[in-house]
Every structure is written in structure tokens, then in C-alpha cells.
Amino acid sequence: MLKRPAFVIIAVMAYLVIFVVKSRLHPDLPMLLILYSLSPLLVIWMVCTVIRYGSYNGQELREEQEWGYEDVK
């Protein structure tokens, strides 16, 4: 479950939404500092999980292409 990119993205985004809502509704400074200090670690965890376990389902580039977008032909 912790290796599934979709779960990790949803969990980190929910954490960040809870952080923003909590900072607006109940601004408790010590709790906000703890939540704020954990945020970069969670984002780094999310990025590493997506890079390691994510899969790309788009079109592969041809030999003469350096980069490209799928919607531009």
C-alpha cells in the first residue's frame, strides 16, 4: 500500500489540505509548526515513491525526437 503512487499522492494531498484548514480554523502555533516541519518530508516521500514505483503509459519518443508533448502532433 505504501508503494502505490496513487495512495501516496492522495495521503500527502489530504495531509496538506488538513494543514491548511487547521491553520485557518484553529491556529495553534506549536501544532502548526510540527505539521509544517513534517510537510517537506512527506512531499519528498511522495516524489520518491512516484519516481520509483510509478509507471508511464504514454507514447514513447522516436529516435529523432528529443522531447515532446502527447497533444502536439
Whether the CB-CB separation of 2 and 52 falls below 8 Å is answered with no
The pLDDT, as a whole number, for residue 68 is 59
What is the model's pLDDT at position 13?
96
Name the least confident of 28-32, 43-47, 51-55, 67-71: 67-71
Cα distance between residue 40 and residue 53, in whole Å: 20
Q: What's the start-to-end Cα distance of the chain, in Å?
A: 37
The label of the residue with cell 520518491 reads 48
Q: Domain-by-domain residue ranges, the chain? A: 5-53
Q: Is 55 or 45 the better-scoring residue by pLDDT? A: 45
| CB contact at 8 A, 9 and 50 | yes
